[in-house]
Structure formats: structure tokens, C-alpha cells
Amino acid sequence: SLRVTSGAEAVRLMLDSERVAEDLKYALEQPADKWGVSVSVREWCGDVKLHSEWRGFVWGGTLNALGQYYHPLLFPALVEDGFAERV
């Protein structure tokens, strides 16, 4: 589980993450004034289903794309007729 109950646990979780390491490596390759790295914290919601996690891409304050967070997986409910129109 990715749920943590303290700041120390959250830092440990991030330090053990290859994804975080990759993102920070990329950020450090940029000039310091171009860094766009931030950390967002929210209340844990354990009943969120895998197929309902999405990632939004925002540029200039506008949502430009929406993608399935677990992109390597196929969730049949997401390809049913009319689903894209409901999103």
C-alpha cells in the first residue's frame, strides 16, 4: 500500500521510488529557474479502484489530455460503448 501515516514514512516512500528518482534526475538536468517539481499531498482514499485513476496534463492552466494512470493494463469497463463521452 502507498498509504502513509507520517511525514517520515512519506519521505521514505519517495526515497525508495524509482519513479521519483527519475523525475528528480530530469528536473536536476534543467536550469534551476525552470524546475517544475512539486509534491502534492492528499487524504488517502482506499476505495479508489485501479480503473478509475487518471492523470491529467495541464499546460497554461488548461487541461489538455487525460490518460489512464495504469496505462499498461486494459480495463474492459473503459472500452465499453459511450464511456469516452461520459469522461
pTM for the structure as a whole: 0.50
Query: Average pLDDT of 7-29?
Result: 88
pLDDT tens by residue, 42-61: 888 888 888 888 888 888 98
- Residue 54: phi and psi, rounded to 5, are -130, 155
Average predicted confidence (pLDDT) for the chain: 84
Q: How buried is residue 10: exposed, middle or buried, by Cβ count under 10 Å (0-12/13-18/19+)?
A: middle
Output the pLDDT for position 36. 73
- DSSP letter for each residue of 17-66: -HHHHHHHHHHHTS-GGG-----------TT--GGG-EEEEEETTEEEEE
Output the pLDDT for position 78. 81
